[in-house]
């Protein structure tokens, strides 16, 4: 996973969850971040879709278990779309 | 693990029961319960019915199999569920359109954050099935479901709430929302004991009636109780529908499904009123007593659940419904109404307006269809019976 994608995803998550980016890492998840509830999860999905101009399918949303998973997913989608 | 959302079938019933158990045990809230039967008790799908409920479940499909995802889900845990009430809306100038009400969404994410994505998946699945989607109620703008729908570009509109205190002393003693602090409770006790509360309430309700600026409606009307909806209801629907900007269809066929002649429920009792003048029906109303709710203490709370009439007859219908509930011995009468004629009629009958947590949320596509949604005065007709409606939530 490219570090730049992870940092971008982390920045978005930091804004939405109201948590300093430095306190978020690849294994951060709804289980470990207090503010990460279902509403914030939706906000994160919508923000990622807008920022990266892509649409996440139900299966992909389901794969977003951690920030690392999410960044990997975004990167894979970006690569597919530029091919 | 992959989440699959599919129609709720009989083979899911035990998994739904386990899902309900996990939600209730972890949250301590008995309201977190989805239908234990795949076939809805109220408004089951049936051939040619214009309104019905359908249920969907979010199932965690096991990855360790070569079977298709849908088949793998059959014996797997249920992690979420929702219901759609399929119905028809009449829009002035645009005619009838099929829409759906999104209701009773439940997600395991409520009690286990690792399922935080379920809420998003449920609402997106519902939107994919019916883009002309709405939700109603929700308990206020600050509730998670309302926030989620707002984030998905739904427009949110509170439906005005009205109440009329029939027995002020009981109201002051029992209304838990007014007794949250010890000093308030003491004040309410004084108001109840001295009669000062009675005077204040009666004055406020009389002032509301006077402010609405017109005399009492004619009293030459006749109210019949527990009538069947027959052709007369179609005539009323057709006469009145052009006076609303939109309303879910209330023709005879639909009304007989919503309020069947033999309708009864262990949690709510409803009655159908037909109001006539000179032998002709001028309107109808559904009234009932709400189930016990801690915020109302031991009060008997009556509700004007639904109603229909031409605008000029709304005061007569509200007056008739109010009298019928007062005769039943209720302590408080409540109603949610959106149309300006019904709001005016409630005020004429001495109802006071309170803060509303009954929210109408329309999807982006439905909002576009309903334009202009924010009229002044509002002319769309939404009542407590819309949305998930009877029998639980009025």
pLDDT tens for B320-336 read: 999 999 999 999 999 99
**Neighbour count for residue A22 (Cβ, 10 Å):** 8
Helix (H, G, I), strand (E, B) or coil at A32: coil
Q: Examine the pLDDT at B66 and tell me if it is beyond 80.
A: no
Residues 6+ apart with CB under 8 A from B24: B30, B32, B33
B123 φ/ψ angles, rounded to the nearest 5 degrees: -70, -35
Provide the pLDDT for residue B216. Answer: 57
Chain A residues in contact with B147 by the CB 8 A cut-off are 39
Whether residues B109 and A59 touch (CB distance < 8 A) is answered with no
Whether residues B117 and A61 touch (CB distance < 8 A) is answered with yes
What span, in angstroms and rounded, lies between the C-alpha atoms of B205 and B217?
A: 16
- In the beta sheet, which residues pair with residue B162? B335, B353
Provide the pLDDT for residue B41. Answer: 87
Asked if B90 and B370 touch (Cβ cutoff 8 Å), the reply is: no
**Looking at residues A47-71, what average pLDDT do you find?**
92
Chain B residues in contact with A64 by the CB 8 A cut-off are 117
Closest CB from B110, B114, B120 relative to A61:
B120
For B17-58, the pLDDT digits (tens) are 999 999 999 999 888 999 999 999 889 999 899 999 999 999
Cα–Cα separations (whole angstroms), residue B146 to B79, B154, B231 = 21, 9, 39
Per-residue confidence at B177, pLDDT binned at 50, 70, 90? low
Q: Does A50 touch chain B (CB under 8 A)?
A: no
Torsion, Cα of A68, A74, A75, A76 (10° steps): 110
Provide the pLDDT for residue B47. Answer: 84
Q: Examine the pLDDT at B338 and tell me if it is beyond 90.
A: yes
Based on C-alpha coordinates, what's the Rg of chain B?
Answer: 22
With a threshold of 0.90, does the pTM exceed it?
Answer: no
**Looking at residues B248-263, what average pLDDT do you find?**
89
Give which of B56, B62, B72, B113 to mutate to test A binding, by max A Cβ within 10 Å. Answer: B113
Chain B residues in contact with A58 by the CB 8 A cut-off are 3, 5, 121, 124-125
Closest CB from A43, A61, A62 relative to B151:
A43
Chain B residues in contact with A30 by the CB 8 A cut-off are 109, 113-114, 116
Spatial CA neighbour of B323 closest among B252, B217, B229, B236: B217
Q: Does A73 touch chain B (CB under 8 A)?
A: no
**Neighbour count for residue B256 (Cβ, 10 Å):** 15
Q: What is the mean pLDDT of chain B?
A: 88
CATH number (domain holding residue A54):
1.10.1200.10
**What DSSP assignment string belongs to B12-63?**
GHHHHHHHHHHHHHHH--TT----SSSS-SSS---TT-S-EEEEEEEEEE-S
Q: Classify the C-alpha dihedral B164-B170-B176-B181 as positive or negative.
A: positive
Considering only alpha carbons, which residue of chain A is nearest residue B59? A62
What span, in angstroms and rounded, lies between the C-alpha atoms of B125 and B77?
A: 18
Q: Examine the pLDDT at B265 and tell me if it is beyond 70.
A: no
Helix (H, G, I), strand (E, B) or coil at B208: helix
Per-residue confidence at B204, pLDDT binned at 50, 70, 90? confident
Q: Examine the pLDDT at B343 and tell me if it is beyond 80.
A: yes
- In the beta sheet, which residues pair with residue B294? none
Spatial CA neighbour of A38 closest among A29, A48, A30, A27: A30
Chain A residues in contact with B123 by the CB 8 A cut-off are 42
Whether residues A31 and B113 touch (CB distance < 8 A) is answered with yes
Provide the pLDDT for residue B394. Answer: 35
What span, in angstroms and rounded, lies between the C-alpha atoms of A69 and B4?
A: 19
Reading phi first (left if > 0) and then psi (alpha if -120 to 50, else beta), residue B102 is in: beta
∠B4-B6-B10 over CA atoms, to 5°? 120
Provide the pLDDT for residue B267. Answer: 40
* Residue range of the domain that includes A29: 3-82
Asked if B238 and B308 touch (Cβ cutoff 8 Å), the reply is: no
For B88-140, the pLDDT digits (tens) are 999 999 999 999 999 999 999 999 988 999 999 999 999 999 999 999 999 89
Per-residue confidence at A1, pLDDT binned at 50, 70, 90? low
Cis peptide before B391 (omega within 30 of 0): yes
Tokens linked to B375: 């009229």
- Segments of chain B assigned E as strands: 2-7, 52-61, 78-91, 95-107, 133-138, 155-158, 161-165, 221-225, 246-248, 269-277, 280-289, 301-309, 332-336, 352-354, 358-362
Provide the pLDDT for residue B67. Answer: 60
Q: Does A59 touch chain B (CB under 8 A)?
A: yes
* Strand order across the beta sheet in which B269-277 lies: B221-225, B269-277, B280-289, B301-309, B332-336, B161-165, B352-354
Domain count along chain A:
1
Per-residue b or e along A41-68, where b marks 16 or more CB atoms closer than 10 Å to that residue's CB: bbbbbbbbeeebeeebebebbbbbbbbb
Structural domains of chain B, ranges and CATH numbers in brackets: 2-130 (3.40.630), 161-354 (3.40.630.30)
Whether residues B147 and A41 touch (CB distance < 8 A) is answered with no
**Looking at residues A58-77, what average pLDDT do you find?**
92
Provide the pLDDT for residue B217. Answer: 58
Say which residue, B284 or B391, is predicted with more confidence.
B284
Closest CB from B107, B110, B151 relative to A46:
B151
Give which of B2, B27, B59, B116 to mutate to test A binding, by max A Cβ within 10 Å. Answer: B116
Spatial CA neighbour of B105 closest among B393, B391, B388, B389: B388
Q: Examine the pLDDT at A2 and tell me if it is beyond 50.
A: yes
Provide the pLDDT for residue B212. Answer: 66
What span, in angstroms and rounded, lies between the C-alpha atoms of B149 and B142?
A: 11
ipTM of the predicted structure? 0.79
């Amino acid at each position: 996973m490219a570090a730049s994608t992870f940092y971008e995803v982390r920045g978005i998550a930091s804004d939405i969850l109201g948590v300093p980016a430095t306190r978020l890492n690849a294994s951060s998840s709804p289980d470990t971040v207090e503010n990460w509830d279902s509403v914030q999860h939706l906000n994160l999905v919508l923000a990622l879709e807008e920022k990266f101009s892509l649409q996440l399918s139900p299966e992909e949303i389901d794969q977003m278990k951690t920030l690392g998973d999410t960044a990997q997913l975004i990167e894979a989608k970006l690569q597919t779309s530029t091919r | 693990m992959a989440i699959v959302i599919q129609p709720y079938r009989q083979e899911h019933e035990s998994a739904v029961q386990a899902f309900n158990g996990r939600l209730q045990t972890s949250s301590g809230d008995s309201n977190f319960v989805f239908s234990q039967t795949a076939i809805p008790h109220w408004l089951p799908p049936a051939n040619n019915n214009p309104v019905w409920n359908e249920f969907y479940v979010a199932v965690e499909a096991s990855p360790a199999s070569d079977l298709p995802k849908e088949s793998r889900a059959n014996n797997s845990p249920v992690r979420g569920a929702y219901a759609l009430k399929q119905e028809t809306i009449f829009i002035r100038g645009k005619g009838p359109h099929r829409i759906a009400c999104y209701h009773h969404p439940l997600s395991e994410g409520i009690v286990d954050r690792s399922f935080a994505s379920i809420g998003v998946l449920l609402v997106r699945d519902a939107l994919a099935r019916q883009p002309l989607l709405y939700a109603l109620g929700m308990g206020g703008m600050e509730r998670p479901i309302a926030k989620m729908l707002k984030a998905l570009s739904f427009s949110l509109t509170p439906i005005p709430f009205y109440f009329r205190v029939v027995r002020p002393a009981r109201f002051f003693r029992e209304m838990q929302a007014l007794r949250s602090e010890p000093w308030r409770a003491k004040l309410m006790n004084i108001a109840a004991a001295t009669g000062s509360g009675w005077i204040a309430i009666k004055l406020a309700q009389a002032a509301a009636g006077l402010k609405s600026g017109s005399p009492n409606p004619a009293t030459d009307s006749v109210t019949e109780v527990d009538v069947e909806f027959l052709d007369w209801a179609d005539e009323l629907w057709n006469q009145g529908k052009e006076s609303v900007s939109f309303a879910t269809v209330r023709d005879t066929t639909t009304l007989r499904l919503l309020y069947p002649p033999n309708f009864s429920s262990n949690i709510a009792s409803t009655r159908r009123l037909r109001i006539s003048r000179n032998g002709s029906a001028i309107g109808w109303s559904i009234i009932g007593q709400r189930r016990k709710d801690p915020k109302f203490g031991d009060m008997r709370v009556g509700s004007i659940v639904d109603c229909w009439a031409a605008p000029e007859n709304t005061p007569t219908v509200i007056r008739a419904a109010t009298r019928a509930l007062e005769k039943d011995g209720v302590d408080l009468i409540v109603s949610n109404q959106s149309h300006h004629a019904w709001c005016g009629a409630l005020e004429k009958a001495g109802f006071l307006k309170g803060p509303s947590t009954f929210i109408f949320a329309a999807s982006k596509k439905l909002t576009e269809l309903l334009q202009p949604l924010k009229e002044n005065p509002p002319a769309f007709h939404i009542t407590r019976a819309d949305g998930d409606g009877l029998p639980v939530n009025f």
